[in-house]
Amino acid sequence: AQSVAQPEDQVNVAEGNPLTVKCTYSVSGNPYLFWYVQYPNRGLQFLLKYITGDNLVKGSYGFEAEFNKSQTSFHLKKPSALVSDSALYFCAFMNDYKLSFGAGTTVTVRA
Amino acid sequence: NAGVMQNPRHLVRRRGQEARLRCSPMKGHSHVYWYRQLPEEGLKFMVYLQKENIIDESGMPKERFSAEFPKEGPSILRIQQVVRGDSAAYFCASSPRTGTTPYEQYFGPGTRLTVT
């Protein structure tokens, strides 16, 4: 079965340090991959997507993600984390029009 | 430019009552999706609708759940005879269209249903 996996339930970093949120995929064909962020009691906000082309995708709020076909990964990165980046992050793939999400990774950025 | 609107934001129902969740897509979006976020199961696709058409309801429970997106007005997710296991956050998303290029879906703030 096709899926995405987020191997870390939680990621803790200090403000100003690099932030990485991991995602691996098991998707046949060309994967359509997405990152969303969810703040407490809010809906999901779209960050970025990979469809085709450059392996490095730039998105909202200074985030970027690197598509790595050989490692079947699509890790989300931010060079310098902010306290306001503390949230729940979801990796997802799209099959036709359906988004299938990973379990989510809770990011805590400490001041 | 208003985003996806959902109401109510919080809904409390007693077991056996009906729950109606409403979703207005972003302006210019004609495709609506409903997802459910259960505490131990994560976010799951429920149904995909276009105006007056249910395109895919493969994620909907077979009984008690229904959805519509009429020609005029919001999309409605209806849960009849609610049970405690229906307690969850229900999110609506919309996109301009589907096709060979996958469009991102924009999510509303969700309706948090609590069944007592």
Q: What's the pLDDT tens digit per position in B67-87?
A: 999 999 999 999 999 999 999
* Most B CBs within 10 Å, among A3, A27, A89, A99, to test the B interface: A99
| Closest Cβ opposite residue A99 in set B6, B45, B55 | B45
How far apart (Å, rounded) are the C-alpha atoms in residues A51 and A21? 19
How far apart (Å, rounded) are the C-alpha atoms in residues A66 and B54? 35
| pLDDT, tens only, B12-56 | 999 999 999 999 999 888 899 999 999 878 899 999 999 999 999
How far apart (Å, rounded) are the C-alpha atoms in residues A26 and A59? 23
Predicted local confidence at residue A74, as pLDDT = 97
Check residue A61 and report its DSSP letter.
G
Mean pLDDT on B85-90: 96
| Contact state of B56 with A97 under an 8 Å Cβ cutoff | yes
Mean pLDDT on A77-88: 96
Predicted local confidence at residue B100, as pLDDT = 60
Return the structure tokens found at A18. Answer: 């690099």
Nearest C-alpha neighbor of A84 from the set A57, A107, A60, A58: A107
Q: Please name the residues in contact with A89: beta carbons below 8 A apart, sequence gap of 6 or more.
A: A6, A21, A35, A36, A37, A38, A76, A104, A105, A106, A107
Sorting pLDDT into bands at 50, 70 and 90, what band is A17?
Answer: very high
For residue A36, which residues of chain B lie inside 8 Å, CB to CB? Answer: 107
How far apart (Å, rounded) are the C-alpha atoms in residues A87 and A105? 8
Burial A23-58 (b: 16+ CB within 10 A, else e): bbbebeeebbbbbbbbeeeebbbbbbbbbeeeeebe
Predicted local confidence at residue B107, as pLDDT = 94
| Contact state of A43 with B109 under an 8 Å Cβ cutoff | yes
Sorting pLDDT into bands at 50, 70 and 90, what band is B98?
Answer: low
How far apart (Å, rounded) are the C-alpha atoms in residues B36 and B49? 15
| Contact state of A90 with B43 under an 8 Å Cβ cutoff | yes
For residue A34, which residues of chain B lie inside 8 Å, CB to CB? Answer: 104
Return the structure tokens found at A15. Answer: 């403000």
Sorting pLDDT into bands at 50, 70 and 90, what band is B97?
Answer: confident
For residue B33, which residues of chain A lie inside 8 Å, CB to CB? Answer: 97-99
Predicted local confidence at residue A53, as pLDDT = 84
Predicted local confidence at residue B101, as pLDDT = 67
pLDDT of A108 > 70? The answer is yes
Interface of A with B (CB under 8 A): 32, 34, 36, 41-46, 49, 51, 90, 94, 96-104
By C-alpha distance, the chain A residue nearest B33 is A98
pLDDT of A41 > 70? The answer is yes
Predicted local confidence at residue B99, as pLDDT = 61
Return the structure tokens found at B85. Answer: 């296991």
For residue A46, which residues of chain B lie inside 8 Å, CB to CB? Answer: 104-107
pLDDT of B1 > 70? The answer is no
